[in-house]
Chain A
Amino acid sequence: MIKLRGICRDYEVGDETVHALDHIELDIAAGEYISIMGPSGSGKSTLLNILGLLDKPTAGIYELDGSDVSDLPDDHLAQVRRQKIGFIFQSFHLVSRLTAHENVELPMLLMGTNKKERRQRAEEVLDSVGLRSRLDHRPDQLSGGERQRVAIARAIVMRPSFLLADEPTGNLDSKSGGEIISIVEDLNSQGIGLVVVTHDPDLGDRARRHLRMVDGRIHSDNPRKSA
């Protein structure tokens, strides 16, 4: 459960103030599938970063699963992030010197999970995204689609409540983009909340709820038109 009340995010640039987010009100229920669209610079990534606790709002209240997280200290936020949020980035953000399974093990490494369990869970999750045969490949030995699948495996290995994806298919061709989408939609159907920022209207239309942002505000918030 996510509840945003009067969320603002201002940037001071010189002596001007940029209102990247301007009094956002938003409720997201567990297991929802939401797409966020809108023109460049409208605040989509900023909103996603706030939702993912990577960034702190300048004003407003953020409640996650019933507790106020707007004013938690950084280390506390890191812990909440580790347990409840999974990120998927346009540029994958894999650690290039680590193999697929080592990348997936990273969140568990930070948790202090023991080695055997780490390895086992990483294998299970990589298996579930179809990378059984790529466990020991490094990112430069994988295709773009495969890299994004490793990133997804890493995002879900801690069983988060929400998966936040910022243009997850932006760097992929349409075929591997489609595979990525079907993987995350599959995860959503298993109950993980899914928020996807995208410029691709077809992709945006697949979500059950469509947010449109303009100038740091939510311009429209519609359920999928039942075609």
Chain B
Amino acid sequence: MKVLDTALFASQALRRAPMRTSMMLLAIAIGVAAVVTLTGVGEAARRFVSAEFASLGTNSLIVLPGKADTSGSGLTGMLIGETARDLTLDDVIAIARNPRITRVAPVVVGAGNASWRSRSREVTVIGTSADMREIQRWELQAGRFLPQLDLDVASPVCVVGSIIAEEVINSNRVVGEWLRIGDVRCRVLGVMAQGGISGAFNLDESVFLPVANAQQLFNSPGVFRIIVETRERADMDPIRRYIVDTVRERHQGVEDITVITQDAVLSTFDSIFGVITMALAGIAAISLLVAGVLIMNVMLVAVSQRTSEIGLLKAIGATHNQIVAIFLTEAAWLAALGAACGLGVGYTVSYGLGVAYPILDFRAPVWASAAAVAIALISGVVFGLAPARRAAKLDPVFALTR
């Protein structure tokens, strides 16, 4: 029997039993679609988080007060935000002396009250430097960011988040107005673009001051963290060592800071989301396996329903291998068609999700689609093999009496 004829014979058997065929296609398609959609969702989350972190710049370091276990990622220290001995502006200035460091942005954060004429509001006050904007790639909708000042120089200026601009300052020209923060008046230099979130802070509801002003406001010399940008990526390691050494020297030989790289954060998140994606893929793969078992069951039913056809094929001279080939080809057709439908459905659902949530990218990774199709084909053939062999082994005399 020719390969093409076998394929045609098998596809004809499927086409002329549309109900049975569509049930099996459905089972396989659901499995494949589940793999594509679920891994797409996992990947979307991972990409979103990575992109958010990557926007911080890939050659920047974050210096935190307190010593976290560096054998881990340093992330725990950052998340818990444990404080030991404070970092000070003088530490920042000392660090900034290294010529391989292009930008330094200390960060001081606290709550404060912002008022304009009779209006006032609780705001997040972020004290930082002009470099912060370049490191974080923040956009402004009006005016400009904080000026380049020496870090320990205070200046009565501020930049406001978009919500502050709308809710507190009731004027059509926000830039140039005077805003009172605590009991200090400062001139508004610019308004941040909408929608910025940095870590836990909603930038829309924040007010930015030069770091020295913020320290006066909070009456504290401490720095919450320092973000350092190096000239090149290759500088990251030497600079990390340089920072640790410099601060230890200044802190009487005690190493009480943690330096983390974006890489560490990114790779931690990558591995977390990698696990999530794998888990989703695992769930989906199980549904594929279930589809495979379904194929086997339906093929077994098909074999017993078609016992007399098998007997007849044997009576007119079909060999063992020909009958295996016929039934296996049917299973392979089902798996291939089911996989194709599943890919179609999966990509359609992912596309739909993408339309519904445009900030996320739900495209399934190629490996997941490939694996889904491969598992569908393999399980179709593997689970199709037992029924096919059972068919081929039937005793023709027995089969013909069915």
- Which residues of A does B touch, CB under 8 Å? 49, 52, 54-55, 74-75, 78-79, 81-83, 87, 89, 93, 95, 97-98, 106-107, 109-112, 115, 154, 158
Contacts and interface: CB of A to CB of B under 8 A. Distances in A.
B316 A81 contact: yes
Q: Is the interface of A mostly helix, strand, loop or mixed?
A: helix
Given A109-B1, A109-B5, A110-B1, 18 more contacts: A52-B315, A74-B319, A75-B321, A78-B319, A83-B317, A87-B315, A93-B312, A93-B315, A93-B400, A97-B12, A97-B13, A106-B316, A110-B313, A110-B318, A111-B1, A111-B317, A115-B5, A154-B316
A78 B309 contact: no
Contacts of A78: 314, 317-320
A93 B397 contact: no
Contacts of A93: 308, 311-312, 315, 400
A150 B397 CA distance: 21
Interface residues on B, range: 20 to 34
16 contacts: A54-B315, A54-B400, A75-B320, A78-B319, A79-B319, A81-B316, A87-B315, A87-B316, A89-B400, A93-B308, A95-B309, A107-B317, A109-B5, A109-B9, A110-B317, A112-B5
Contacts of B117: none
Contacts of A79: 317, 319
Interface of B: 1-2, 5, 9, 12-13, 16-17, 308-309, 311-322, 396-397, 400
Nearest to B5: A109
A147 B397 CA distance: 21
Listed residue (A54, A87, A107) with the most chain B CB atoms within 10 angstroms of its CB = A54
A81 B317 contact: yes
A141 to B, nearest CB: 14
Nearest to B314: A78
A158 B316 CA distance: 10
A55 B1 CA distance: 23
Nearest to B317: A82
Contacts of B16: 97
B322 A110 contact: yes
A158 B317 CA distance: 11
B109 to A, nearest CB: 75
A112 B8 CA distance: 13
A142 B123 CA distance: 87
Contacts of A115: 5
B397 A55 contact: yes
A95 to B, nearest CB: 5
A75 B314 CA distance: 10
B117 to A, nearest CB: 86
Nearest to A109: B5
A87 B318 CA distance: 14
A109 B318 CA distance: 10
Given A54-B396, A109-B9, A112-B5, A95 B317 contact: no
B318 to A, nearest CB: 5
Given A89-B400, A109-B9, A74 B316 contact: no
Contact of A112 (B2, B13, B396): B2
B70 to A, nearest CB: 70
Contacts of B317: 78-79, 81-83, 107, 110-111, 158
A95 B5 contact: no
Contacts of A110: 1, 313, 316-319, 322
